[in-house]
Structure 1
Amino acid sequence: MRGNDHGILEGHGPVRYGPPLPDDGLPVLPELAAAAAAADPAVPEPPGGTPSLLDAACGYWLRRGLPTEPGSTAAAPGGVPLLLALTAAIGGDVLLPRPCPAWWEPQARLLGRSVFHVATPAECGGVPDPYALLETVRRVRAEGGDPRLLVLSVADDPTGTVAPPEILHEAIEAAAAEGLHIVSDETWRDTLHHDPARTTVLIDPAEMMPEHVTVVTDLTGAYLPPGLPAAVARLPATARGAALRARVLDILTALGAVLSGPAAAAAAYALGEPPGITARLRATTALHARVAAAVHRALLDSGGLARPPEAGRQLYADLDRLRPALAARGVGDAQDLEDRLSERLGMPTPGGHRFGDDLAALRVRLSTGPFLGSTPQERMTSLTTPEPLELPHVQRALSMLESALDDLRADVKGWESPR
């Protein structure tokens, strides 16, 4: 029985069964664990974050060319409550690129807000096509809607792409011209793969239109383990930005969305970017980049499609070219594809419908973490070896993917008409 807005089986709901952020699968750095352990969990944290945490966030943004004062920042126990508070404070209808991170849309739905997805350009995900954005905003207003908020991501989950500066600038200009406030999710901005053959320069939307942009970074993406959730926001340094921050702090207080002492201490330590943190991040990013490139090659060799991954620990596969072979196996939509590949590969492969994409489209997000091994020892070996793709457990995982895709490709070729 199909039972909700996305036509997903009742037991596969988009919230309770939605995919988490892609994990690096590695043990926590000892110094990060020590920073968390040194905090007193009995001491309550203030809503919005301690001065030490906000100062660390300001230093983090300053090193990225965004001078910031503590009075323009806020912290919360993860990106989910922070985006929820921002969405509630800004009000109105919400516009999201298609596809988008699985955790964005539920925040707006929970508040009873209408959500409108906007197509992304061919070059990247995470950012709406500027012309499609303008058309959507004007259509929504003509139908009595009240669009006020655009959420986007320059380094995108689920596609693993980075938005080219010119496309990003056009989208930001279009949104600002229509009076939209922009929330830029920058969870993956520090995980760029730096492939010389295709690296896209990352430009922060807050550099382009600082008075219109709030930056959100969920530190669980690149810096913290899931058990220490923390996120920070940088709001515009304007009177409207100050009013928005005050409202966000009110909402976080009402929700009881306060950081734990250990999470706040770990977040402040990570945002200070000591050598151990930066070295681990460089090493994990390089490892995931190599695995992502191998997965991408396997997808293209099979006849599938995927944009080249440029950031993060994920890529977005379109298997529509294999639809005949998949249909013969009872796979007719993204939920079916998710079920089949998750079972065949022994790893989560969430369908595109979980990211706001069309249920009928045969798309899935593949995370690179499960390819690194099934035990902490295997994953650490993947991190420390010079040639991770030659490790038996990595080769085994890649071979399983190639085998699953090759079976489908062989079927499709067998059904093609002779030339």
Structure 2
Amino acid sequence: LLPRPCPAWWAPQARLLGRGVYRVPTPAECGGVPDPYALLETVRRVRAEGGRPRLLVLSVADDPTATVPPPEVLHEAVEAAAAEGLHVVSDETWRDTLHHPRDTVLVGPAEMDHERVTVVCDLAGALLPPALPAAVARFPATAAGAALRARTLDVLTALGAPLAAPAAAAAAYALAEPDEIVERLSAAVRLHARVADAVRHALLAAGAFARPPQAGRHLYADLGPLRPALAARGVGDAQDLEDFLGARLGMPAPGGHRFGDDIDALRVRLSTGPLLGATQQERLASLTAPDPLELPHVERALSMFGSAFDDLRADAQRMEPPR
């Protein structure tokens, strides 16, 4: 069982194992977790059809929506999962990237039900460079958790998936949280938070919708209010929107259908990383600048981004019927 939308890699891995995938809508205020009532309804419907749902995957710092579920919403979802005998896998890859940690309360499901929750974290999200992929999992400290861990190790061994020595060394170093890692992560979080706020401001000014980003390095935008202007440019669904914005912005803009959303919905995930520079030198400058938004390459990228959506807003205004 997966929330809709969810990270693009969740469903393919389940299908690779020959497992069925069932999508559950998320509540209005956040992504990452299923609406508890929709979860119960989905479980009962699947069982009535002969299915055996056993696993709920969720995220407390969500990709793609960049939201953090309120503790009470998460608690209701975890309670619903426990009532139906589901094991919970909590993807906490972006947990350490809260944009405003003093204003955001993040609680993991393992803090609510330590016997039914496995926590996973892709270290290449916030701590390691993409060239050194590594991930960790923490299983429940129970007999069932130990059996699940042993089974997981068996599968990884059969797949020939050992952790390369350089990645293992980097992961061990990062997980020890030395000062330089902590300081660099904090600087990166501040940088991506500033850029994400600027991107959201440009989207809202154009008439689109996006929840305030709370974690991670991306936003999830709904361009439904701009549908007439986009239709005039040949954009009718999420795939068209992905192609259109990718060409217009010069950066990847995966449509919501890649995250399990309805392809007819004009939703798209926009990353902040491509706006920080095209070279390693520019990205490092963005990381260390007192105000990265004043750097020429960042200012230019945000200006181009805003101009693309300003054009859509102007088209939408021209197409509005006279009052």
**TM-score bracket, shorter-length normalisation:** over 0.9
TM-score of the two chains, using structure 2 as the length reference: 0.99
Q: Give, in whole Å, the separation in 2 of the partners of 1:200 and 1:122.
A: 17
Q: What residue is the counterpart of 1:298 in the other structure? A: 202
Equivalent in 213, 223, 237 of residue 141 of structure 2: 237
Alignment partners' CA distance in 1, 2:101 and 2:79: 29
- Tell me the distance in 1 between the aligned counterparts of 2:170 and 2:290: 29
One-letter code of the match for 2:186?
R
State the shift of 1:417 in Å.
1.8
| TM-superposition CA deviations, 1:135-161 (whole Å, max 9, x none) | 100111011111000000000000111
Counterpart among 5, 9, 24 of residue 118 in structure 1? 24
Quick one: which of 108, 130, 146 aligns to 1:226?
Answer: 130
Equivalent position of 2:47 in the other structure = 141
Point out 4+ residue stretches in structure 1 off by more than 2 angstroms.
none
1:365 paired to 2:274: no
Could you give the per-residue CA deviations for residues 301-342 of structure 1, whole angstroms, max 9, x where no partner exists?
110001100000011000010000111111011111001101
Give, in whole Å, the separation in 1 of the partners of 2:306 and 2:169.
Answer: 43
> Aligned partners of 2:15, 2:38: CA distance in 1, in Å?
22
Q: How does 1:2-41 map to 2 (within 5 A)?
A: none
1:309 to 213, 220, 227: 213
Give the Å deviation of 1:399.
1.2
Using the size of structure 1 for normalisation, the TM-score is: 0.76
1:326 matched to 2:230? yes
Deviation string, structure 1 residues 157-206 (Cα, Å, up to 9, x no partner): 0011111000000000000110000000000000000166xx32000110
**Cα distance between partner residues in 1 of 2:276 and 2:67:** 21
CA distance in 2: counterparts of 1:223 and 1:375, whole angstroms: 20
2:108 maps to which of 201, 204, 222 = 204
CA distance in 2, matches of 1:417, 1:324: 12
Cα deviation for residue 111 of structure 1 reads 1.6
| Counterpart residue number, 1:404 | 308
| Counterpart secondary structure, 2:104 | coil
Aligned to 2:72: 166
Give the number of equivalent residue pairs. 323
Matched, 1:337 2:255: no
1:376 matched to 2:280? The reply is yes
- The answer to whether the 8 A contact 1:163-1:200 is kept is no
CA distance in structure 2 between the aligned counterparts of 1:281 and 1:142, rounded to whole angstroms: 47
Can you list the C-alpha shifts for 1:240-273, whole angstroms capped at 9, x where unaligned?
1111111111111111111011111110000000
Whole-Å separation in 1 of the counterparts to 2:104 and 2:22: 27
Question: Displacement, 1:400?
Answer: 1.3
Does the residue aligned with 2:125 lie in a helix, a strand or coil?
Answer: coil
In 2, the alpha carbon distance for the partners of 1:215 and 1:173 equals: 17
| Letter paired with 1:117 | R
| 1:254-295 C-alpha deviation (Å, 9 max, x unpaired) | 111110111111100000000000000000000000000000
Equivalent residues in 2 for 1:45-56, closer than 5 Å: none
Which letter does structure 1 place at the counterpart of 2:209?
A: L
Unaligned runs of 5+ in 2: none
C-alpha displacement of 1:418: 2.0
SS in 2 for 1:187: coil
Q: Partners in 2 of 1:313 and 1:395 — Cα distance?
A: 18
Partner residue in 2 for 1:346: 250
